[in-house]
């Protein structure tokens, strides 16, 4: 089969590799769509350390090609959505419902865990049966492939940060994942919803998808602007941008009782906190990593009920053969979600 193999930094090579063969409880999926996550782009550009060679891509939807001998739920021809986070179901963390903390976890095309399975930047990929979810018939493959990032957005905004109807929210960074966080906040009943982004393109997208206001942080004092719109300050601030400056901005927007979610930064950078100030204003901080079976199911429900259409954030699609061009588009500010789509 054809696969995009990351051999080294900026060395993404299309080559023929062996098609995977499933174990007893595994499935092989004919990949129809796979999103390019910012973490994939960082790995290609050398901004995130990974072991080489590696087949990336963890936002996957496709059609089951073959199944293992002990597979019970799925059959060839089933249209499925794949969760990248594998789990054993037997360890203490799994039995507490913390599947993404599994002591024997693996990752398909992404980060974390003791084991890594090749991802979706290939014609076929393999994973465990319990990592597959049936795709609702009404969802396109590109939309279905975004189930995983939408699941992460739901987990961070709704489950962990517990957004309540009428609360005022600021989302810093409205690229792909920031827009999904914003769309979740909008549908969850956010009152005033401010998008903060240096890109005019990103701010315009945010206003189309539910933001009530959009701020360019390069053109103003962000705290003054936010408090001009939200006189009592934000109830929740979501950092979905990635740079350390966005984390500093998140804390600078806090008033007493503000909740914050450290969502976008995935690199190991340090930031400073005034301990006493943080203590006295009772800042409540969450972070959200990866997805769980619950968040995947919630993401599928949001799409199937017509509440959120993640396809609206897609700006570019490329065939697998043009993945290097897709990565070049990822370098540009005038893009949103970039997808690899196969016939």
Lowest-pLDDT choice from 55-69, 105-119, 168-182 = 105-119
Q: What is the percentage of the chain residues whose pLDDT exceeds 70?
A: 100
189-244 residue pLDDT tens: 999 999 999 999 999 999 999 999 999 999 999 999 999 999 999 999 999 998 89
- Describe the crossing of helices 200-208 and 176-187 by its angle, rounded to 10 degrees: 30
Bond from prior residue into 53 cis (ω within 30 degrees of 0): yes
Pick the closest to residue 259 from 288, 297, 299 (CA basis). Answer: 288
Q: Looking at mean pLDDT, say which of 118-122, 268-272, 329-333 comes out highest.
A: 118-122
**Could you please report the per-residue DSSP string of 2-43?**
EEEEEEETTEEEEEE-PPP---TTEEEEEEEEEE--HHHHHH
pLDDT confidence bin for 173, thresholds 50/70/90:
very high
| Average pLDDT in the chain | 95
Pick the closest to residue 299 from 97, 176, 155, 169 (CA basis). Answer: 155
**pLDDT for the residue 198:** 94
Instruction: Give the strand order in the sheet containing 106-108.
Output: 85-86, 106-108, 115-117
Where do the domains of the chain lie?
Answer: 2-145+309-341, 154-287
State how far the alpha carbon of 262 is from the alpha carbons of 135, 175, 238, in Å.
30, 15, 7
Contact 308, 184 (CB under 8 A): yes
Is the pLDDT score of 26 beyond 90? yes
**pLDDT for the residue 334:** 85
Cα Rg of the chain (Å, integer):
20
43-99 residue pLDDT tens: 999 988 888 999 999 999 999 999 999 998 999 999 999 999 999 999 999 999 999
**pLDDT for the residue 281:** 93
Contact 174, 206 (CB under 8 A): yes
**pLDDT for the residue 242:** 87
**pLDDT for the residue 120:** 97
Residues present in the chain in total: 343
CA distance 35 to 207: 23
CA distance 294 to 314: 24
**pLDDT for the residue 159:** 97
Pick the closest to residue 340 from 59, 15, 134 (CA basis). Answer: 59
Is the pLDDT score of 114 beyond 80? no
Over residues 157-186, the mean pLDDT reads: 97
| Phi-psi map region of 337: left, alpha, beta (phi>0 left; psi -120 to 50 alpha) | beta
Residue 250's SS3 state is helix
CA distance 188 to 176: 18
Produce one character per residue of 191-208: b if its CB has 16 or more CB atoms within 10 Å, e if not. ebbbbbbbbebbbebbee
CA distance 288 to 292: 11
Q: What is the percentage of the chain residues whose pLDDT exceeds 90?
A: 89
The CATH code belonging to domain 154-287 is 3.40.50.720
**pLDDT for the residue 145:** 98
Contact 119, 58 (CB under 8 A): yes
121-160 residue pLDDT tens: 999 999 999 999 999 999 999 999 999 999 999 999 999 9
Is the pLDDT score of 300 beyond 90? yes
The CATH code belonging to domain 2-145+309-341 is 3.90.180.10
pLDDT confidence bin for 110, thresholds 50/70/90:
confident
């Amino acid at each position: 089969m054809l696969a995009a193999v990351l051999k080294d930094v900026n060395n993404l090579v299309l080559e023929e590799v062996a098609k995977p063969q499933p174990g007893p409880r595994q499935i092989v999926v004919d990949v129809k769509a796979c999103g390019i996550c910012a973490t994939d782009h960082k790995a290609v550009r050398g901004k995130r350390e990974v072991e080489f060679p590696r087949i990336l891509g963890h936002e996957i939807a496709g059609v089951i090609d073959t199944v293992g001998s002990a597979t019970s739920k799925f059959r060839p021809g089933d249209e499925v959505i794949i969760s990248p986070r594998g789990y054993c179901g037997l360890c203490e963390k799994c039995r507490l419902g913390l599947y993404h903390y599994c002591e024997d976890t693996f990752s398909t095309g992404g980060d974390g865990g003791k084991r890594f399975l090749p991802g979706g930047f290939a014609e076929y990929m393999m994973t465990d049966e319990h990592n597959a979810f049936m795709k609702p018939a009404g969802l396109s493959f590109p939309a279905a492939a975004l189930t995983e990032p939408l699941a992460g957005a739901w987990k961070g905004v709704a489950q962990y940060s517990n957004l309540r109807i009428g609360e005022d929210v600021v989302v810093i960074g409205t690229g792909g994942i920031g827009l999904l966080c914003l769309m979740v906040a909008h549908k969850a009943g956010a009152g005033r919803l401010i998008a903060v982004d240096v890109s005019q393109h990103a701010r315009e997208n945010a206003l189309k998808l539910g933001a009530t206001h959009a701020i360019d942080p390069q053109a103003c004092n962000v705290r003054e602007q936010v408090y001009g719109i939200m006189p009592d300050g934000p109830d929740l601030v979501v950092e979905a941008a990635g740079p350390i400056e966005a984390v500093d901005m998140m804390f600078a927007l806090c008033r007493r009782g503000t909740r914050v979610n450290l969502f976008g930064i995935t690199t190991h950078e340090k930031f400073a906190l005034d301990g006493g100030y943080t203590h006295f204003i009772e800042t409540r901080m969450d972070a959200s990593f990866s997805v769980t079976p619950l968040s995947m199911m919630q993401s599928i429900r949001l799409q199937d009920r017509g509440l959120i259409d993640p396809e609206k954030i897609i700006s570019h699609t490329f065939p697998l053969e043009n993945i290097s061009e897709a990565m070049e588009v990822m370098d540009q500010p005038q893009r949103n979600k970039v997808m690899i789509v196969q016939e």
